[in-house]
Amino acid sequence: MGNSQTRHASRRTSQSTREAAAAQRHELIETEAATTATASASNSNQQPEAAPQGRRQQSLPSTSFGCGGSSRKSPHRPPPPAQALSVPEPEPVASNSIGVVTAEAETQAAATAATTVGLQQQLSTWSLGSLSGGRLNWSFSAARNSFRHRNKATRKSSSSLQGFRRRKTQWHRPLTNSIFNSHFKEASRNDQFQIEHLVAKGAFGVVFKVCNRTDTSSCYALKVLKKSKLIEDNSVRQIKDEADIQKVCGHHPFIVQQFDLWQNRHNLHILSEYIPNGELFSKIVDFSIDLVRLYIGEIALAIDFLHNAGIIYRDAKPENILLTQQFHIKLTDFGLSKWLKLGANTRTICGTFKYMAPEILCGEPYGHAVDWWALGVIACQMLTQKVSEQKSDNQ
């Protein structure tokens, strides 16, 4: 028991001794740090480049704690004087440790403020020298590689987008619509008209008399053609030429005018003006000489206009010659017409057999003269009410 009290008393005595020594050491360190900072500031004005090297060589000795640990002070702290080294190193208390760290931080900030210019200069020199080792080129090559990959990704995305648009167009637009899309729009107008009666039937479709639902006084002729029949007979180019020719020449007073074109999934529609008195021979049976002259003259004017426009008609017959409300004639149905320059020839065998010229029947090249042959046959028919019979070479 006595030994225990003796040990406790010695411990208290040693602890008080250590606290006094630590306080004395802290005062010495603060005084020496202030003196060193003043000397360093004066030396940095004279030799700014040598100061950092001298300060980097300064270090503090280790301080042993009572629990057996060790702590190294900041490398920028100057060493204590010789008389401080002779004092035994006591174990600092936690509160004193916090105070030492704060004083050291303030002293370090004051010591490094004078060497900022020299350190920045050395740092910049080191940084520029380090770029000569190839790292600069590597960064540029990496940028080029990333840019190349980014371009590839962009091209891939754009090409995939274009492919998607193409697939979308083909999916939402049927092939039969795409074939005729250059001339016939896809916006149908069938709900705007009401069918009155059937006018005529042809090889590819029918013709109806239709009236506008909002204005019943406006009547038109609606020609409906089946797409499947046109594609089967390879007449796609033919129907497009018919639409173009009637559109270009419809302003002539003796040619039926065309108003609109459209299509749906199965049919093509051509909207033209309605001619009320029908075909040439449906209203008139006996033709006087003067009436024959009048009608032949009007038909000749229409045919001559077509020829001058570079068009061969090839389907002049009474069924395609209509009578207006004032009993003037108008040509219609340009399904067999073709773009042909004056003086040029073609070999296609087409037309109505009774009104075909001999060179067409023989399969020889022919030109615009075949239309004048058909007009002569019509004039003979109006005068005699008969049509001459054509015979082939075998007969």
Comparing CA positions, the residue from 224, 306, 239, 326 lying closest to residue 270 is: 224
Local structure of 69: helix, strand or coil: coil
In the annotation, is 315 catalytic?
A: yes
Catalytic choice (233, 260, 304, 315): 315
Per-residue pLDDT averaged across 253-265, rounded? 93
pLDDT for res 22: 75
- Tell me the C-alpha distance between 357 and 376, whole Å: 10
Local structure of 264: helix, strand or coil: coil
- Fold classified for 190-273: Phosphorylase Kinase; domain 1 (3.30.200)
- Tell me the C-alpha distance between 239 and 268, whole Å: 10
Percent above pLDDT 90 for the chain: 40
Cβ–Cβ under 8 Å, residues 246 and 336: no
Q: What is the pTM of this model?
A: 0.55
pLDDT for res 152: 53
pLDDT for res 39: 61
Comparing CA positions, the residue from 322, 340, 339 lying closest to residue 331 is: 322
Higher pLDDT among residues 37 and 121, named by residue: 37
pLDDT for res 187: 79
CATH 1.10.510.10 fits 280-384, yes or no: yes
pLDDT for res 135: 43
* 313: DSSP letter: -
Average pLDDT, the chain: 74
* Domain 190-273 shares a fold with domain 280-384: no
Instruction: Provide the edge-to-edge strand list for the sheet that holds 267-273.
Output: 193-201, 205-212, 219-226, 267-273, 258-263
CA distances (Å), origin 194, targets 184, 211, 222: 21, 5, 10
Whether residue 237 is predicted with pLDDT greater than 70 in this model: the reply is yes
Per-residue pLDDT averaged across 115-143, rounded? 45
- Tell me the C-alpha distance between 92 and 63, whole Å: 9
Could you tell me the residue ranges of all domains in the chain? 61-113, 143-172, 190-273, 280-384
Least confident of 162-166, 285-289, 316-320, 359-363: 162-166
pLDDT for res 211: 93
Cβ–Cβ under 8 Å, residues 72 and 60: yes
CA distances (Å), origin 127, targets 122, 132, 133, 135, 329: 9, 9, 11, 12, 97
Pairing label, strands 267-273, 219-226? antiparallel
pLDDT for res 65: 44
Q: Which two tokens stand for residue 62?
A: 């280790």
